[in-house]
Amino acid sequence: MTQASPDPALIEELVLANKILFRQNVVDAFGHISVRHDKMANTYLMARHLPPGMVTAADIVTFDLDSNALSHQGMPYYSERFIHGEIYKARPDVISVVHCHARPLIPFGTAKGARLRPMYHMSGFLAEGVPVFEIREAGGMTDMLIRTPELGKALAACLCDKPVVLMRGHGATMVGKSIRQVVFRAVYTAENAVLQMDAHRLGENGEVEFLTAEEGRKADGWGRSVDRAWSLWKDQIMGAP
């Protein structure tokens, strides 16, 4: 495969996204974000095996959609890179993918009968429904990780056409049309989980008035908000006064 170099601005945005996800507590030492290559749609870009908060431009590897490394060969990679490759195969509309173990999301994927639903306009995208991936159905008894293309395909099938999928006993995966959108979705999916947990405790019989499907769809429209949040998060990383 002849390789075209990605736009350096895309690499820069991906590095920044890694640091923002760490700063916003979406990832700790674990989790990762990828972006589809801007010039070769059948490849994607993601860091080598590193904590997201420590990623630099020199650490960005190019992978094909089978998640074979086309650069940085022989280095350790994230064992769960198949999450990314298989979603890019199944979802041509997806440009960026986040996988994380964000604290507020684990209980929603693990408590029996729990269902993550949109509390407010910031997370209207959740109104489409949030599936929960049970790895036992696809892989039986595992170490919970998406270590193979088969498990990646099963996860992508569970995600279906939605923006977010929870993973039982593991974490969550989000997708978006851009790095900024998927980071925004990751932050506000986690924030929504915090809010929803408290709302169930407060409501009579645990009842909560969620956004309807229509409210959620309408609230998901505003790209300007994604840029507004990004400008703040970038500012925090860059250390502006």
The two three-digit tokens of residue 197, written as one number: 């947990």
Round to whole Å and give the CA distance between 207 and 190: 20
- Closest CB to a copy of itself among residues 44, 108: 108
- Closest CB to a copy of itself among residues 44, 77: 77
Round to whole Å and give the CA distance between 164 and 99: 10
- Closest CB to a copy of itself among residues 39, 228: 228
The residue whose two tokens read 């994927």 is 109
The two three-digit tokens of residue 80, written as one number: 């769960």
Q: Is 80 a catalytic residue?
A: yes
213-235 burial by CB neighbour count: b if 16+ within 10 A, else e? eeebeebbeeeeebeebbeebbe
List the x/- string, 169-208, binding to a copy of itself by CB under 8 A: xxx-------------------x--xx-xxxxxxxxx-xx
Binding test (CB under 8 A) with a copy of itself, winner from 71, 75, 137, 222: 222
Q: Does 50 bind a copy of itself (CB under 8 A)?
A: yes
Round to whole Å and give the CA distance between 150 and 170: 17
Q: Does 69 bind a copy of itself (CB under 8 A)?
A: no
Binding test (CB under 8 A) with a copy of itself, winner from 7, 12, 137, 235: 235
Among 111, 110, 107, 87, smallest CA distance to 99 is for 87
- List 80, 86, 204, 214, catalytic entry: 80
- Closest CB to a copy of itself among residues 53, 131: 53
Which residues 6+ apart lie within 8 Å of 103 measured at CB?
25, 190
Minimum CB–partner distance for residue 70 and a copy of itself (Å)? 22
Q: Scanning residues 3 to 22, which ones bind a copy of itself (CB under 8 A)?
A: none
- Which of the stretches 1-9, 40-48, 65-73, 219-227 binds a copy of itself when contact is defined by CB under 8 A? 219-227
Q: Does 75 bind a copy of itself (CB under 8 A)?
A: no
